[in-house]
Amino acid sequence: MSQYQAVYEAWKADPENFWKEAAKEIDWIKPADKIFDVVDGLDRWFVGGQCNTCYNCVDRHVEGGRADQPAVIYDSPITGKKASLTYKELLDEVATFAAVLADQGVGKGDRVICYMPMIVEATISMLACARIGAVHSVVFGGFAPKELATRIDDAKPNLIVTASCGIEPGRIVEYKPLLDEAIELSAHKPGGCILLQREQATASMIEGRDQDWSELVSAAKAAGKWAECVPVAATDPLYILYTSGTTGVPKGVVRDNGGHMVALKWTMWNMYGIEPGDVWWTASDVGWVVGHSYIVYAPLLHGCTTIVFEGKPVGTPDAGTFWRVISEHGVAALFTAPTAFRAIKKEDPQGQLIGNYDMSCFKTLFLAGERADPDTLQWAEEKLKVPVIDHWWQTETGWTIAGNPLGLGLLPVKHGSSTVPMPGYLMRILDDEGNEAKRGDIGAICVKLPLPPGCLPTLWQDDERFQESYMSAFPGHYETSDAGYMDEDGYIYIMARTDDIINVAGHRLSTGGMEEVLASHPDVAECAVLGIADNLKGQIPAGFIVLNSGVDRSPGDIEKECVSLVRAKIGPVAAFKTAVTVIRLPKTRSGKILRGTMRKIADGEAWSMPATIDDPAILDEITDAMKDRGIAN
C-alpha cells in the first residue's frame, strides 16, 4: 500500500509543519525563525535560517563516515577516460578551488558563470561557488556566443570559469573562441577567466585576463590554501539558471539555498526510493536544471555516488553504452530524457545489447524533460524489466511537480500520465476564465500559491517579470505554461505548452527567439517558427520565411543563410535545420499568424479552418510548401 495519499494529506493539513520536519534532514548553522514568510512581496522559505549547501553536499559526509566512498564517478566514453573522487577527495578539490576563487576576489553574492562541458571540474566549480556563498550560473556548451553574452550581461559575473573545449561526436567544440566572442559582444566585462586546458584542444590565453585552472590549483595546494564554508541565509541565492522565455531574452531562474536543499533531499528517498550510499546516474548535462538538481546537488546531499557521464546514448561507441555504465558502476537508478531512449530504441530495436551486461544492480528508470510517449515507455519497461517512471517538472520548480513516488510506494502506472502531485503542489486545472476545469477537461495547469521550497522565489533582479510571467494570468496561482488535464483519480496528464516554447531532444527552446533571429536577416520580411513532431527528438523547429519584395536572390541560398544564422546566434542545440520560403503566411484578420493551425497541418493532425482567417487560400499554399519539403505528415 502506498503511503502517498497519507503523506500528501498530511502536507495539505499543515504545510509548514511538513517542511519543518523535512528540514531536519539538513544541517543548519542556524535554524529558521519562520518556516514560511512573505518578505518584500516574495514568498520565502526558512526565513532567518543560515546554512551552507556545499557543507551539506560534501563536508558533512566526510565527517559522517563517507570520506572514502566515491562521491563522483566520471565516465567519458567520448574521450575513453574514467576517474573517481571519494567524498574526501572531492572536499579537497572543492575547498582548494573555492580558495582560488576567493583569491580572485570572488565573495558572497558575487556571480560566477561556468561555461563547462561534462567534466568533474564543472561540479567542483559549482560546489566551490556554493562554499563561499558565490552565485553560479552554468551556461550549456551548445549555446552560441550571443546567448552566452546575454547571460553575461544579465548575471554580471565577476569571473567566468571555462574549459578549452567540449567534445561532440566527430568534432571538438573549442570554447575559448566562443567565450572571447561573447565577452566582446557583452557590455559587462568579467574581472577574469579561469580556463581548464583539456588535452583535446589548447586554448590561447589573453594576458591579464585569463588564468590557467591547473596552475592556480597547484599553486593553491602548494600553499596549503583551503576555503571554509561561508554561512549564507537560507534565502540567499545559490544559483541563477537561464531558461527560455517567450522572447529571445532568457529568464534568470533564481534558486535559494535552504528551500532547495530541503526539497531535493526529500525527493531522494520519497520520490526516487534511493538510499544514501547508492549509485545514482542522471544522463543529462550540468547546463540544464536536471543536471543541477540530479547530477550535482540532490545525490550529494543524500550521500550517494553520482555519475558524470560525457557521452551520448548512441554512437559513443554504441547503443549499449548506458548498459555498460550501469553494470560497471553498479547504478541503482538512471534518470534521463525519453529522447535518449528513443535514440537507443532506433539503433537497437530488440534491445539485444542489454543482454551483454549484468544489470542486476539496476532498479528503476526515471524519465522527464519532455513527454514520455507510451511506445518508448513500454519498450523500456519490457526490455529493462524495471519500473519506468515518468515525472514532470520545470527549470522553475527544480524538482518534481507530479510523479509516481517510489519511496512512498508506487501507485498504479497509467501510460501518458506523469501520475500525481507531490506534497507542496496543490494543482488546479483552470479554464480561460480562471475557473476549475472538470476532471478530464484540458486547461492551464496551475499551482496554487505559495510554491513549495526549492521553487524559484523570483527571476534574477526582475521581480516584475517574475510576477508578470507566472502570476498574472491566474491570480493566486503559478502558471506552469503547460496545458493538460487531471483524471478522476487525480492523475495529471501534460499535453502541450501554452506558450511558444518547444522541446527539442529534452532541450527547452523558444520559437520566438528563433523568429527574432530569422527576422534579423536583411531579406526576410516576416517569419514563423513551429515545433514539428519528430520521432527522435520529440519536436524539431521549422521556419517559414516571407522575403522582402524586390529580393531577387535564390530563396535556397537565403534559407541556408537563415539556418546558419540560427546556429550562429542561438547555437547548435536549437537543431534548426529547415527554413522554407513561402509567399505569405496565414493570418487572422487582426494580423496574428496562425502558428497553431500550421503546426497541425505539419503534424498531420485534424484541423479546422479558423473562423477569423484572413484568406483561406493561404493554408493551401502552406500545405503545398510543406509537402514539397517533406514536412507535412
CA angle 557, 558, 561 (to 5 degrees): 90
CB of 337 to ligand AMP, least distance (A): 8
Work out whether 150 is an interface residue with ligand AMP (CB under 6 A).
Answer: no
Q: Among 28-36, 39-47, 306-314, 557-565, which window interacts with ligand COA (CB under 6 A)?
A: 306-314
Are the C-beta atoms of residues 49 and 30 closer than 8 Å to each other? yes
Phi and psi, residue 305, nearest 5°: -100, 130
Fill in the per-residue mask, 489 to 528: x = in contact with ligand COA (CB under 6 A), - = not in contact: ----------------xxx---------------------
**Among 552, 507, 526, CA closest to 543:** 526
* Residue from the set 370, 373, 500, 515 that interacts with ligand AMP by CB under 6 A: 370
Contact partner, 395, from ligand AMP, ligand COA, none, Cβ < 5-8 Å per class? ligand AMP
Q: Does 77 bind ligand COA (CB under 6 A)?
A: no
Restricting to residues 438-497, name those near ligand AMP by CB under 6 A. Answer: 480, 482, 494, 497
In the complex, the smallest distance separating the C-beta of residue 432 from ligand COA, rounded to whole angstroms, is 31
SS3 41: coil
Rg (CA), the chain: 24
Rounded CA separation 344/363 (Å): 19
Residue whose C-alpha is closest to residue 227's, from 129, 161, 126? 129
Q: Which of 123, 257, 395, 510 binds ligand AMP (CB under 6 A)?
A: 395
Q: CB neighbours (10 Å) of residue 464?
A: 10
At 121, list the grid cell: 571540474
CB of 27 or CB of 168, closer to ligand COA: 168
Question: How many whole angstroms separate alpha carbon 419 and alpha carbon 314?
Answer: 29
Q: Which of these segments, 157-165, 362-370, 464-472, 573-581, binds ligand AMP (CB under 6 A)? A: 362-370
Indicate which single residue of 10, 83, 173, 185 sits in contact with ligand COA (rule: CB under 6 A). Answer: 173
Interface with ligand COA (CB under 6 A), residue from 142, 303, 405, 538: 142
* 419 DSSP assignment: B
Exactly one of 62, 101, 337, 408 binds ligand COA (CB under 6 A); which one? 337
Task: Please report whether residue 289 would count as binding ligand AMP according to CB under 6 A.
Answer: yes
The closest alpha carbon to 98, from 59, 156, 154, 139, belongs to 59
Q: Is 48 in the site for ligand COA (CB under 6 A)?
A: no
The CA-based angle 468-474-478, given to 5 degrees, is 70
DSSP structure class, residue 351: -
Q: Which of residues 202-261 bind ligand AMP (CB under 6 A)?
A: 243
Question: From the list 168, 174, 462, 534, which residue makes contact with ligand COA (rule: CB under 6 A)?
Answer: 168
Three-state DSSP class for 57?
A: helix
Residue 67 CB partners (closer than 8 Å, separation 6+) = 61, 86, 87, 88
DSSP character at residue 414: -
Looking at residues 266 to 285 of the shown chain, list those that interact with ligand COA (rule: CB under 6 A): 284-285
| Residue 368 sits in the site that holds ligand AMP (CB under 6 A) | yes
Q: Which residues bind ligand AMP (CB under 6 A)?
A: 243, 289, 368-372, 390-395, 418, 480, 482, 494, 497, 503, 508
Q: Which residues bind ligand COA (CB under 6 A)?
A: 141-142, 166, 168, 173, 284-285, 288, 290, 312-314, 336-337, 339-340, 343, 369, 505-507, 572-573, 575
